[in-house]
Chains A and B, each alone.
Chain A
Amino acid sequence: MENTGPLEFKDDQLVGLAKSGDRKAFEMLVERYKQKAYQIAFHHIRDREEAKDISQEAFLRAFTQLKRFDLRSSFYTWFYRILVNLCIDYQRRSRRFIWQPLEEKENQEGGNPMTSENPTSPDQHLSAEEMSRRVAVTLKELPPNQRKAFILRNHEGLSIREIAEVMRSAEGTIKVHLHRAVMALRRDLAEFE
């Protein structure tokens, strides 16, 4: 899972350099993880500007707390923990947290395609829009730990072991969260199967 950049520095090496005051090393970590960080925030928040702010805030916290990071876990696990907790905190405190279907946002923003599908007929478009809305509602209604586990596995591709590290839970607990989240989605999206 650990990425290496064009200069082939590993995360640990960059962290070591950044800890000794090398700002460029930290910026390389930012460049390496900014898109993933943004996507995680976006999957939780579904607002482009807010997702940008939250993911940037996670990098700032990582920067200020880097000296306390003891390298017992990998950088991305440690960083994802900061990021995911910020997303959950944001959702808890934000009154503006509204899960808006992506297609609605596209229409508001001038039809810029933001989804992976590209429905051709009006029926298909309606179906995709409805499905997106239902997914958003179901995810919103899930308990935070189930939502977190599902997004990290299904959207971000983290392994169960990695999610357990990020969420500081047992792997068995993460499996239960994931299973329940998937079952809730299947139940709510049965008509789309």
Chain B
Amino acid sequence: MAERIHFPSQSCKEYEQDLVLYYYGELGEGELHRTEAHLQACDSCRQTLESLRSLLPLTVKEDHPPQSFWDNYSRELRGKLDQVEVKVSWWDRIVSLIRSWPVPVAATAIVILLALTLTLNRTLRRPEQAPPVNEEIFEILRIADDVEFYKNLDLLDSMDMLEVPGAFSNGSESA
């Protein structure tokens, strides 16, 4: 006989768990035979089993609400399901739309992405690569100024020649 413990009806400790499982009908075939054989030989384990049979059913307390409670329960739950279904259906609609049109959606997304990339790229790179329009104009203007300058120089040169005494008379005098 196994060691006894201090619980109310002093069952054998090694059979304690098996007695609980026996009560609930949860023993396998081998354990069942072993436990039944032990019960035939052990008064205290039989008493323990009897106490389980009398005690455990008393621990179950069912609540029995009236029919109106159940009617209300179903009505309330249908209302809550309606709310949940609306939320779910919006999301489902979006997801199903995406799922049913994968190729067009992907193609559109790629086109939009490419367009955005090109636009942004052009916008960002324009200041660096833009042709130096102002510089060209200034260069042309500078050349134009130079032409005017040289023209003025030629004119002044001609005037100087007129003013030099004997510039022409030397020749005439000598002639």
Contact = CB atoms under 8 A, between A and B. Distances in A.
B61 A192 contact: no
Given A30-B77, A52-B73, A179-B20, A185 B63 contact: no
B81 A63 contact: yes
Interface secondary structure of A, over-half rule: helix
Interface string B63-80: 111000110011011101
A116 B26 contact: no
Contacts, number: 109
Contacts of B61: 43, 102, 114-116, 132, 135
A35 B21 CA distance: 27
A186 B8 contact: yes
> Interface of chain B, helix or strand or loop or mixed?
helix
A39 B62 contact: yes
B55 A189 contact: yes
A146 B62 CA distance: 20
Given A117-B58, A155-B60, A193-B51, A38 B73 contact: yes
Contact of B56 (A43, A139, A154): A154
Interface string A106-128: 00000001111100000000000
Given A39-B63, A114-B61, A193 B54 contact: yes
Given A63-B85, A178-B21, A192-B58, 10 more contacts: A27-B81, A38-B73, A51-B63, A56-B77, A116-B60, A135-B58, A175-B17, A179-B20, A186-B7, A193-B51
29 contacts: A34-B77, A38-B63, A48-B69, A56-B80, A59-B77, A60-B77, A60-B84, A63-B85, A102-B61, A102-B63, A114-B62, A114-B63, A115-B61, A116-B60, A131-B58, A135-B58, A153-B24, A154-B56, A160-B24, A160-B26, A179-B17, A179-B20, A182-B52, A182-B56, A183-B7, A187-B8, A190-B8, A193-B51, A193-B55
